[in-house]
Each structure stands twice: as C-alpha cells, then as structure tokens.
Amino acid sequence: MKVSMSWLKFGLLLAGALCSTFGANSVIAQEWADLKMTFVYDGKAPAAKPVDASKDPLCLEDGNKIVTENMVVNATNGGIRYIALSLDVKDASKLKIHPDLAKASADKVLLDNVKCVFVPHVVVMRSGQTLEVKNSDKTGHNANFGFFKNQAQNVTVPSGASKDLKIEKEETAPTPVECNIHPWMKGYVIVKDHPYVGVSDENGALVIKGLPAGEELKFRVWHENQNKAISEVTINGKKEKWDRGYVTMTLKPGENNLGTIKLAPERFK
C-alpha cells in the first residue's frame, strides 16, 4: 500500500503535536526535595535553669530534677533544640504536596505529661487531626491551650488518664499550652494545613521531607525564646539576612542540606 507524501507529513506533524502535548507531562513531572540544616548557638551554651517543684513532691520522685525548656542548647555541640521551620503558604489547597504526605494520618497526635513536663515540648500536627492529651504522671495535671483559630480549651487530666481534642483549623502561630497546677510546665502546638514543618532535635538538626522542588518556597523560622524575629544568621561562615524570620529558597530535587546555621546570642532573650 502506497502512502502519499502529504499524508506522511501530516502523520509526522500529528505525532509531534501529541508528543509535545502528552509527552511533556512525563518530562516535567513533579519532583520532590528534602531540606536539612543544623542550628547552632554561636557562643557558650547557656545552662538550663533548675525549677523549684517542691510544692508537688510527686514531681520529684526517684530523684527527678526539672529544668526550664525555653532555651535548650547542647553543651557538647551547641545544637539549639526546638527551633521550628514551617512552609508559609496562604492557601494550602493550591500547594503541591507529596503523594505520601497528602493525607493527614488518622493516628492521634500525642502530648504527654512525663515527670512534670510536656512531652514533646513542641508538638506538630495537621488540621483535622486529634490531639491526645495524656497524663503518665502520678500527679494530676491540666492543659490550658491558648488557641486563636480553634476553640481555646483548658482540660483537666487525672493521673493515668487522657483526653482527646479535635483540632479543626490551622493556627497562624505556635499555640502555647500550660499547666496551671505546675506553672513551670509550658509547651507549644503547631497546627498547619500541610505537612511541611520541622523541629530541631537535641543536636539542632532539622529535616523537612517531600517538598516540591523547582519552585520558590517561603519558610518561617521560630523559637519560643527568640528576640523579636530571627532576622540574621550565619550559614557555613557567611552572614545572611532573613526578613523578619522569613527565608525564601528554591530547592533542587533530592537532598538540600544548608549545613550549619549559627545564631548569635543576641538573637535570643
């Protein structure tokens, strides 16, 4: 069967058009990035201050010693604990979210009372999840949440008991939680409509996984003891300005390690 030259040209043009229309989608398929960094105190690590818990002897059983948690710095490597970095977006419904992270876990998010401190000190959760407030201590506690978007709640949690709180809405800032029975007890709850929040560990290391690569992203850095906003940092020896605690970056696919980020003592109260 003979095919005319005009029909052959038409077929080639059609094939090219189909490739450019459909094939491009596979070429520009969304890629994902992991963001890593380590926050370090640029000076002598401040010592945590002891707490006077003598009014409740149950808090001091088995030689338990309680210290403040608003400024926790690793004495060995200077790592700053409990720094939070969160992706800042106005409408999370338009955000590209990694398929593995698109749906919030059905599991409850735990906030425990252990040896008369909140554990973890900074809780991260998605809007729509349930927060389980547990009391593993022998003494009673309460948890007073200063939510702004969600209903403020103050729940009493007897020893060995727990209370569930459904957190429906995103909070614009970390929400403080306090125990009025034991006034030194304070923690924070970060509630977002997306999964892109990281909190630094005992070595100051922070990781956020599955971020959309190749587009400009804006992040907010926060620490409960910051002096106003963290606006100046030193990254791998080079000073940088972060606009009132916000930093914008475009991530490449795969791992993006910013390295060591040093914060001067004056960045904190």
Domain 30-267, what architecture? Sandwich (2.60)
217: number of CA atoms within 13 Å, CB side? 25
Provide the sign of the torsion angle of the four alpha carbons 228, 229, 232, 237, taken in this order: positive
Q: What is the pLDDT of residues 148-201, one digit of tens each?
A: 999 999 999 999 999 999 999 999 999 999 999 999 999 999 999 999 999 999
Tokens of 155: 């729940």
149: left (phi over 0), alpha (psi -120 to 50) or beta: alpha
d(CA 41, CA 81): 10
- This model's pTM is above 0.75: yes
d(CA 89, CA 98): 16
Which among 180, 110, 176 is positioned nearest to 148, based on CA atoms? Answer: 176
Choice among 23-27, 125-129, 189-193, 237-241 with the minimum mean pLDDT: 23-27
Q: What is the pLDDT of residues 64-115, one digit of tens each?
A: 999 999 999 999 999 999 999 999 999 999 999 999 999 999 999 999 999 9
Q: What is the pLDDT of residues 15-34, one digit of tens each?
A: 455 445 544 444 578 999 99
